[in-house]
Amino acid sequence: MSVTMIILAVLGAVCLLGAALVMRYAFTYDKPKPSHEPPAPLPGSEGGGIYTMHLREVPEDREKLLSALQSVPRIHASMTDDRTVSIRYEGFPSIDLLDTLRTAAESAGAAVESVE
Residue 29 in domain: no
Residue 56 in domain: yes
The pTM assigned to this predicted structure is 0.60
The C-alpha atoms of residue 53 and residue 97 are separated, in whole angstroms, by 13
Q: What is the mean pLDDT of residues 63-84?
A: 89
Residue 3: per-residue pLDDT: 86
Phi, psi of 34 (to 5 degrees): -65, 135
Residue 29: per-residue pLDDT: 62
Task: Count the neighbouring beta carbons within 10 Å of the beta carbon of residue 18.
Answer: 10
Q: What is the DSSP string of 45-86?
A: -SB-EEEEEEEEE--S-HHHHHHHHHTSTTEEEEEEETTEEE
Residue 75 in domain: yes
Residue 7 in domain: no
Beta-bridge mates of residue 77:
87
How many domains would you assign to the chain? Answer: 1
Give per-residue pLDDT as tens, 24-61.
Answer: 777 766 666 666 666 666 555 567 888 999 999 777 88
What secondary structure letter does DSSP report for 91?
A: B
Q: What is the mean pLDDT of residues 61-72?
A: 90
Helices 62-70 and 97-107 pack at an angle, to 10 degrees, of 150
The C-alpha atoms of residue 108 and residue 116 are separated, in whole angstroms, by 19
Residue 102: per-residue pLDDT: 92
Residue 8 in domain: no
Beta 49-57 vs 111-115: how paired, if at all?
antiparallel
Residue 43: per-residue pLDDT: 59
Which CATH number is 64's domain given?
Answer: 3.30.70.100
Domain, as residue range, for 73: 49-115
Q: What is the mean pLDDT of residues 10-15?
A: 88
2 vs 35, which has greater pLDDT?
2
Name the pLDDT band for 104 (thresholds 50, 70, 90): very high
